[in-house]
Chain A
Amino acid sequence: MTAATRLRSRHLLGIADLDPSEIELILSTAEAMKEIGTRTIKKVPALRGRTVVNLFFEASTRTRLSFELAEKRLSADTMGITAAGSSVSKGETLADTARTLEAMSPDIIVIRHASSGAPHLLSRICKAGIVNAGDGTHEHPTQALLDALTIRERKGRLAGLKVAIIGDLMHSRVLRSNVLLLTRMGAEVRACGPATLMPLGLTQLGVHVTTSIDEAVAGADVVMMLRVQHERMHGLFLPSVREYFSLFGLTPARLERAASDVIVMHPGPMNRGVEIDSAVADGPWSVILDQVANGVAVRMAVLYLLAGEDLQS
């Protein structure tokens, strides 16, 4: 693998567009960015004078705050727009919103949207770099990158690790980005969830697919739990919370089958007692809060690599 010194695209639409050397570049840049968060003055001028727009069409707390903090630590000028209270609620199309923003010459637009492919639509309209902060059930690339950073900190590597991803696989953008990243970096991925929430095509990506949590967890170095939306809990996907927890909930007993130094991850927000037992979420295995801290560093790295090019040279 030749080391990349820059990203080929001016957008980050998904892990699908990144090659291993670019993933490596983002992770190593993020490691350097982490140090900034430990300083008394947590700010560098890397994006001074750059404008970043945070365009969040879907409710988000941690991702939005994480991006905002990353932007501020890099000294960018930031604006935030939420769907409620903007022209979107007056019936403006995404394309028109994009053109309006474009007229204000932002350098980067960070977008979270409920429709898969919305950032791709924006990338065809805007000159600004587009960062996908989660699109529908498609991708959430910065989540996968911060997960990878967290795993690497704890395990020293990605290649060869056994990673179990468990939960609502069908509706999870975190799953898709993580599968693409982890398989690309040589990890062994097992995906586990109920048959009603199993997307097609995972096997073709080299993922071992199972409906048995015990099989998924056996010998795992990393267990990554996915959120199950409440609205999927009563109806045609799943009969009840009770049954879901009994079949797929991660408990200390189930973790005993994993590697002795297993780490447990969750992209949040967690449903305690649904997909994860509190004893696990708060237990010694949990790196959930490390993920949050690493989120800021990874987003700083991505923004820097996309918008800070000429500062590097």
Chain B
Amino acid sequence: MTTQSLLLKNARVVDPGAGRDGHFDVLIADGKIARIGKNIPAGDARVVEVPKEWVVTPGLIDIHVHLREPGQEHKETIATGTWSAVVGGFTAVACMPNTDPVNDSSSVTQFILKRAAEANFARVYPIGAVSVGQKGDQMTEMGDLSAAGCVAFTDDGHPVRTAMLMRRALEYSSMFDVPIIEHCEDPSLKGDGVAHEGAVAAMLGLRGIPSVAESIMAERDISLSEMTGGRVHIAHMSARQTLRAVREGKSRGIKVTCEVAPHHFTLTDEALRKGSGYDTNYKMNPPLREEADRLAMIDGLRDGSIDVISTDHAPHHADEKALEFDHAPFGIVGLETCVPICLDRLVHGEVLSLPRLVALLTCNPASLLKLPGGTLREGEPADITILSPDTQVTIHTADLVSKSKNSPFDGWSLKGAVAATIVGGRVLYSNPIVHGTELLRMAD
């Protein structure tokens, strides 16, 4: 598809992957980044004088998303999920294999990629299952899955069931240079828990999931990574004990990386008491933990121990969430709330500089999964996100474009917005509340 050439004139470009933070012109032509530089002649390109409040970054990448298709299209589809990604500022997502059927064979991978191509919104990188049916017994055909497009393997939703399977998966996947992404949770310690094991859950009468259920599994996997040389990535870290294990592993040169989701550095289990209590939009796995854990996650972001911010976007139908706390499913949507939360809490909250935040959402996830993009390179597809860090936004869950609205951030007012999302040179989204975006709509 050819699109009209677009020249973003004198924009602040923050591209930590390229070590770039300054004012440049960005010329987009034929869906690619034609040039980045000073005083680029416009030629036949439409010129957009970029407002000084905007920040042009490489397209954001979320490596932990549940798109639910195939099998649970009442929660989300690949089309609605990737549109939600675009509205949230993400130009690419990696999707988890716990669909129905599970993404444990190349035919499912191909189906996902076909649907993603039809939708033609954010790019989709499928993640394959470690074990057939995610049952923890037989390893999947990782070679075939990798060839079909899988960028990593995980049994997310569950941990890799046995230490032996994890050992073999780490050994085997290293042949394809892809990481194993681990949902760290010791099943016997988790039991039938529904909330963080602490004083709040105890007094609310909710069965607890102790922090060590997560860290003990992370410790197992870090030891196995050391033994095998395979890469392990700790998904949606929530507990300070897990962060300690990751730090210790990294300090010994073990190939361990980790991610944190916005809700785990923003909320704590105290939220379970809010209002009349038991709001199932605060039910996620891993659960919201204590203030000390939240602060540890902030600390891990600040000192660089945490490699990636990802959303664990987990759509669930309103009917499913309207059940008793015990019976409601775990998870919240996150694609459309991530950028405002990160800008507000981390950048305006003076935890991270803007370039460091951008790295956690662009070059870091890209290099972890060896994805294209993550930085702006001449000749590469023009996947670009434009942020407006000072625009105040109010989150209305009813307005989310995701098929599901299960977010605990309804009514939150946050400083920081996505101004526009450009995928392959096409301005797919421009935020009407951000001043100046009409220039981009005209250009499209």
Contact = CB atoms under 8 A, between A and B. Distances in A.
Interface of A: 13, 16, 93-95, 113-118, 120-121, 123-124, 135-139, 170, 173, 176, 199-202, 204-205
Contacts of A94: 323-324
A141 to B, nearest CB: 12
A170 B203 CA distance: 9
Given A200-B197, A200-B198, A120 B323 contact: no
11 contacts: A95-B323, A114-B326, A115-B326, A115-B327, A118-B324, A120-B276, A121-B278, A121-B322, A139-B205, A200-B201, A201-B202
B399 interface: no
A124 B205 contact: no
Given A116-B204, A116-B206, 17 more contacts: A115-B325, A116-B278, A116-B325, A120-B276, A120-B278, A121-B324, A124-B276, A136-B205, A136-B326, A138-B204, A138-B205, A138-B206, A139-B205, A176-B205, A199-B202, A202-B202, A205-B203
A141 B162 CA distance: 44
Given A136-B205, A200-B202, A117 B322 contact: no
Interface residues of B, number: 22
Nearest to A16: B203
A248 B204 CA distance: 25
Nearest to A172: B205
A119 B109 CA distance: 44
Contacts, number: 69
Contacts of A201: 198-200, 202-203
Given A13-B276, A123-B276, A201-B200, A116 B323 contact: no
Give 7 nearest A-B pairs by CB, closest first.
Answer: A201-B199, A138-B205, A117-B278, A116-B205, A115-B324, A137-B205, A199-B202
Contacts of B205: 116-117, 135-139, 173, 176
B200 A120 contact: no
Contacts of B207: 137
Contacts of B322: 93, 95, 121
Interface string B199-224: 11111111110000000000000000
A120 B206 CA distance: 13
**In this complex, which of A135, A170, A199 has the most chain B Cβ atoms within 10 angstroms of its Cβ?**
A199
B198 A117 contact: no
Contacts of B372: none
A116 B206 CA distance: 6
Contact of B319 (A93, A118, A120, A124): A93
Interface-centre pick from A135, A137, A200 (highest chain B CB count, 10 A):
A200
B204 A117 contact: yes
A117 B319 contact: no
A209 to B, nearest CB: 12
B323 A93 contact: yes
Nearest to B278: A117
B345 to A, nearest CB: 27
B216 to A, nearest CB: 16
A117 B276 CA distance: 9
A120 B277 contact: yes
B284 to A, nearest CB: 16
Contacts of B202: 170, 199-202
Nearest to A198: B202
A114 B323 CA distance: 13
Interface in B259-289: 276-278
A254 B322 CA distance: 48
Interface in B170-213: 197-208
Nearest to B323: A93
Contacts of B208: 200
Contacts of B197: 200
A121 B276 CA distance: 8
Contact of A204 (B199, B277, B278): B199
A18 to B, nearest CB: 14
Interface in B274-327: 276-278, 319, 322-327
B325 A117 contact: yes
Nearest to A173: B205
Among A121, A139, A204, chain B packs the most CB atoms within 10 A around the CB of A121
Contacts of B201: 200
Contacts of B277: 117, 120
Contacts of A199: 202-203
A263 B325 CA distance: 37
